[in-house]
Structure 1
């Protein structure tokens, strides 16, 4: 199975003057330019700053450039990651409404751009409890008018505080509660932080089997492939370079080669530090793959 691997890249018009991946023009097609510069063939974007409530604001010409460049230069797929402010589980009416409106804008942008997936965290129940939080999240998802060619992905979480998504049962719970067809994105650093071991081939096999038993591998459409700077079960979310964190080379190699995961696209959110960028990490993933 052909390896699909890429990174979460910026759509901004420019970056630091010493950045070799500075794009030639200023629109969302910058993402395709950067992805190919890093050596990726699929990837993820924010349509706007993730720290604010903002419209994607993509015009028709930019969307056409993005779709055309993607078709000619990448294997795909792309994923849109929603704003960090979105909280599907919230019991607060105002935040629920803002989250719903933001989700609607993102799935509409995905449809415009030909992107099949919109990735979102469940968020925090902030006192509503696990069951109440999952009920709230399902209500928001079912109120989104999702285009036929777009699927919402619920991302696994590191599990700190009242955030949901750290347990596979939470992911199964939201799938069971919705009338909307939704699927899942697993973040390896989050899964590890939440207490599912990935640090050896045997541990990866056990965790994949647990996910299949609880959620079902048919729902896994994307993996955020990140190593972890913190140990298993710490609920601490800080990403490391591939094979250089506490998941380590053995765990990463098994994830990349596991027979049930080989067709799942891998999107890196690894750091840029120690002289290593997305390009280094993408090359590292390819070096671990046994065809």
Structure 2
């Protein structure tokens, strides 16, 4: 089973073992992932709150590639900056978003990372169709390396944000000339109105996704429970099986035949004495 967590790259050294290699920033993620019990994962290449170049030097990238292979950790996902808005009708924000995404896919190629994950963003008045047109055309301006795939993540769907409906995801895939794939976030789907709190609900939702988007376009799952009710558009994550999706729904997602081959990446909170390691172990307990 491919299961891991979103992992920090901060700090100059994370191992207390003096015999351990001096992990640099990016390589910190590998060591931490092993501590969690994970075998795949996700990172930010820089602070997601600012427009910033990843600035990854050749030596750092080589160490990350080598250590990921040595430790058997992968695939990895880079999550793009929260500032990126592909749907925007504003020219300046569009250009910044395209520039940021180009830097992310280039960083992914350098690091040997397979995926770059991005939210569609908000259309802010352009309308759903206009927003989807904007997103697809922005993505089409990217020079995506052959070894990298951009993933469009499902959204909780608040305000004018797109990606909350499967039709939005399919709309971008249909419009774009790029070979894009999808990342489904369980908490986001639930917030957007897809009731996956029961085994029957998971079955119905996966069937709908397959009909609208296609399971062959699904590459990754963000595995998060939800602190809020279905359809509230509120995006706040809970520990696996302890939110309002609950144990039955999360277990059904983890074991669904159409989903179980995907890498599962946790973005669960670290609170109540429960860490990423607790959630990784919980997922493995629920796996049949």
CA distance in 1, matches of 2:167, 2:5: 28
Map Cα deviations across residues 70-126 of structure 1 (whole Å, 9 max, x no partner): 111134110000000000000000000000000000000000000110000000000
Among 247, 261, 279, the alignment partner of 1:263 is 261
Kept after mapping to 2: 8 A contact 1:183/1:219 = yes
CA distance in 1, matches of 2:72, 2:286: 21
Map Cα deviations across residues 267-288 of structure 1 (whole Å, 9 max, x no partner): 0000000000100000000000
Structure 2 unaligned segments of length 5 or more: list them: none
CA distance in 1, matches of 2:22, 2:273: 24
1:90 equivalenced with 2:85 (yes/no): no
Bigger drift between 195-204 and 66-75 goes to 66-75
Classify the secondary structure of the residue corresponding to 2:184: strand
Among 160, 183, 188, the alignment partner of 2:186 is 188
Give the TM-score taking structure 1 as reference length: 0.95
> How big is the shift at 1:15?
9.1
Gap change, CA 1:213 and 1:254, over 3 Å in 2 = same
Give the TM-score taking structure 2 as reference length: 0.96
CA distance in 1, matches of 2:143, 2:176: 13
Kept after mapping to 1: 8 A contact 2:121/2:161 = yes
CA distance in 1, matches of 2:222, 2:67: 23
Gap change, CA 1:97 and 1:139, over 3 Å in 2 = same
Classify the secondary structure of the residue corresponding to 2:25: coil
1:145 equivalenced with 2:151 (yes/no): no
> How big is the shift at 1:25?
3.3
CA distance in 1, matches of 2:260, 2:224: 16
Structure 1 unaligned segments of length 5 or more: list them: none
Kept after mapping to 2: 8 A contact 1:197/1:207 = yes
> How big is the shift at 1:262?
1.0
Across the aligned residues of Structure 1 and Structure 2, the Cα RMSD in angstroms comes to 1.6
CA distance in 2, matches of 1:164, 1:241: 25
